[in-house]
Amino acid sequence: MRNVVLIGMTGTGKSTVGRLVAEALGWPHVDTDERIEAVTGRTIAELFAERGEAGFRQWEHEVLREVLKGEGQVVSTGGGVVLRPDNVALLRDGQFVVALAAEPETLVRRLQGDASRHRPLLAGDVEAQIRKLIRERRGLYDFAHVRIATDNRLPQEVAAEIVHLYRARTNAQVTGGSY
Ligand SMILES: Nc1ncnc2c1ncn2[C@@H]1O[C@H](COP(=O)(O)OP(=O)(O)OP(=O)(O)O)[C@@H](O)[C@H]1O
Ligand SMILES: O=C(O)C1=C[C@@H](O)[C@@H](O)[C@H](O)C1
Ligand SMILES: [Mg+2]
């Protein structure tokens, strides 16, 4: 359990909630999308335009691998990180993985009008793109240790639940309990 890692569909709140979890634990927060932009000097939309989705996914893999070498961090991933089996293998190796979830309607409401710089996959008809991504990614987030539905919940509430679950799990390991 070296790091707390948030996975989930785009718009489930990984970046927003991850920052709050990090504050609560007193740990650094790493957002892999932001790290990719810092390392490449490009926005995600520029990377997609210049290198295609495959080029972006390669950067995502390399950044994830580097970040997960560290410990005591809260890591917010990009929504598509689970598409590559080698990423899933890294995530399954000693990380506390939390999947955030939300109904399609919630994602559409949150992301409507916010597709440009950070989420080129949602360009055009946001609702249609979200529904397509949900279909393509069905089951891919299921390996997480816990799944938290975020509909009608404040980011602060979701973050508090993650902190509680993480502490319960690590305490159980220390005391030998089976949680
Ligand atoms: N629990 C919540 N309730 C209401 N709005 C939320 C909640 N969590 C996040 N949001 C809002 O939804 C939008 C998307 O959140 P965020 O950027 O954290 O998602 P993400 O999971 O990191 O997405 P991506 O995978 O694309 O990086 C933001 O505008 C954020 O303020
Ligand atoms: O769901 C996705 O595939 C993505 C989500 C974002 O976090 C970014 O990582 C990028 O826009 C791709
Ligand atoms: Mg994010």
Residue 58 burial (10 A CB sphere; 0-12, 13-18, 19+):
middle
Categorize the per-residue pLDDT at 115 as very low, low, confident or very high, splitting at 50, 70 and 90: low
In this prediction, residue 91 carries a pLDDT of 98
Q: How far does the centroid of ligand 3 lie from the alpha carbon of residue 52, in Å?
A: 19
pLDDT tens for each residue of 9-50: 999 999 999 999 999 999 999 999 999 999 999 999 999 999
CA 177 to chain centre: 28
Pocket test for ligand 1, best of 9, 10, 15, 81 (most atoms within 8 A of CB): 15
What is the pLDDT confidence band of residue 82, given thresholds at 50, 70 and 90?
A: very high
What's the ipTM?
Answer: 0.99
The better pLDDT of the pair 124, 164 is held by 164
Domain count, the chain: 1
pLDDT in the model for residue 179: 45
- Ranges 10-14, 84-88, 92-96, 166-170: which has the least confidence: 166-170
Show the tokens assigned to 21.
């979890």
CA distances from 53 to 50, 83, 87, 147, 154 (A): 9, 12, 15, 27, 32
**Using alpha carbons only, how large is the chain's radius of gyration in Å?**
16
Domain with 125, as residue range(s), is: 4-175
How close is the Cα of 75 to the center of ligand 2, in Å?
A: 14
pTM of the predicted protein model: 0.96
Give the per-residue pLDDT at 85. Answer: 98
Residues that constitute the known binding site: 11-16, 33, 57, 79, 119, 137, 153
What does the DSSP assignment read for 62-116? HHHHHHTTS-S-EEEPPTTGGGSHHHHHHHTTT-EEEEEE--HHHHHHHHTT--S
Q: Is the pLDDT of residue 152 over 90?
A: yes
Q: Which ligand is nearest to the CA of 11?
A: 1
CATH number of domain containing 156: 3.40.50.300
